[in-house]
Amino acid sequence: EAGVTQFPSHSVIEKGQTVTLRCDPISGHDNLYWYRRVMGKEIKFLLHFVKESKQDESGMPNNRFLAERTGGTYSTLKVQPAELEDSGVYFCASTLLMGTEAFFGQGTRLTVV
Partner 1 sequence: KQEVTQIPAALSVPEGENLVLNCSFTDSAIYNLQWFRQDPGKGLTSLLLIQSSQREQTSGRLNASLDKSSGRSTLYIAASQPGDSATYLCAVLPLGEYGNKLVFGAGTILRVKS
Nearer to partner 1, 14 or 97 (CB): 97
Q: Which of residues 44-63 bind partner 1 (CB under 8 A)?
A: 44-45, 48, 50, 55-56, 58-59
Short-list 108, 112, 104, 30, CA closest to 64 = 112
Longest alpha-carbon distance in the chain: 38
Nearer to partner 1, 45 or 74 (CB): 45
Sign, CA dihedral 51-55-56-62, equals positive
Torsion of CA 99, 64, 24, 107, to 10 degrees: -80
Q: Which of residues 15-44 bind partner 1 (CB under 8 A)?
A: 31, 33, 35, 41-44
Q: Which of residues 80-99 bind partner 1 (CB under 8 A)?
A: 91, 93, 95, 98-99
Which parts of this chain interact with partner 1 (CB under 8 A)?
Answer: 4, 6, 31, 33, 35, 41-45, 48, 50, 55-56, 58-59, 91, 93, 95, 98-107, 109
